[in-house]
Amino acid sequence: MPELPEVETILRDLRRKILKKKIVKIIILNNKILAKNSAAGLNGREIKEIERIGKLIIIDCGGKFLLVHLKMTGQLIFTRKDFNPDKHTHAIIEFNDKNKLYFRDVRRFGYMKIADKKAVIREKAKYGPEPLSVGFSSDYLKATFKKKKAPLKSALIDQKLIAGIGNIYADEILFSSCLNPKRAAESLKEVEIKNLIKATNKIIKKAIESRGTSISDFIDTAGAKGGYDKFLRVYGRKAGDKCFRCGREIKKIKIAGRTTKYCSNCQK
């Protein structure tokens, strides 16, 4: 958290708000987030483009790139008004029009990093295809899952295999496609792979349209929460709650170190 829909929401906000603006300076309040001497290299540079791969935001500053990963609790807040940085504010980017972009992160797992074009290419190569992309196909998943004994939930959140899916949407996708998160990825039949792709694309598309899920710390660049919470069917529910589909109890287990909720009756 944030996952693909939340980061896409932030990306679209940033394109509207900071594209073509010049960076006056970057104030670093926590050297673990970004070294001060690295940040100085972006002063005076114009924001040429902003893109995303998976959960990683890539800001093109004309020959140099600012990579931003929000990890679990990171936030980017854009405002013209005075904003009092608290102890969780780790960096402030000031623009030539007096607006500022604040990087906050309660748990401090997120980061900002300066990179050149070659480093960006190497970074992108670490990711698999995204949902909603041409590369996210039955043929791709069939080849990827072949001989993969890892649990299906683990495969879905492995960024090297599929970019952008995390704990929230993995649980929702598996519930929607009636697949047990404990099943070996290699066990999926072709029809189940097609159902998984259909459920993934439907959920991710709807979550983007709803501007993400704010069951935890996510807010957009204006501080507003996402609207997908009301569509959640299994994530965030308690063990023992009744399944919305069959009425049986929701189970809670750990897979790849992540809390996982599912219905053992519906999801086979």
CB 57 within 8 A of CB 113: no
Q: Which CATH class is domain 4-124?
A: alpha beta
Nearest to 172 by CA among 247, 233, 215: 233
Of 52, 55, 100, 261, catalytic: 55
Q: Where in the chain is the domain with CATH 3.20.190.10?
A: 4-124
The string of pLDDT tens digits covering residues 34-84 is 877 788 899 999 999 999 999 999 999 998 999 999 999 999 999 877 777
Residue 30 CA: distances (Å) to CA of 78, 90, 105 = 19, 5, 11
Q: Where in the chain is the domain with CATH 1.10.8.50?
A: 138-263
DSSP 129: P
2 noted as active-site residue: yes
Of 3, 6, 172, 192, catalytic: 3
CB within 8 A of 74, min separation 6: which ones? 2, 68, 103, 104, 105, 109, 110
55 noted as active-site residue: yes
Q: How far apart are CA 69 and CA 75, in angstroms?
A: 10
The string of pLDDT tens digits covering residues 81-137 is 777 788 999 999 999 999 999 999 999 999 999 999 999 999 999 999 999 999 999
pTM: 0.95
Fold of 138-263: Helicase, Ruva Protein; domain 3 (1.10.8)
129 noted as active-site residue: no
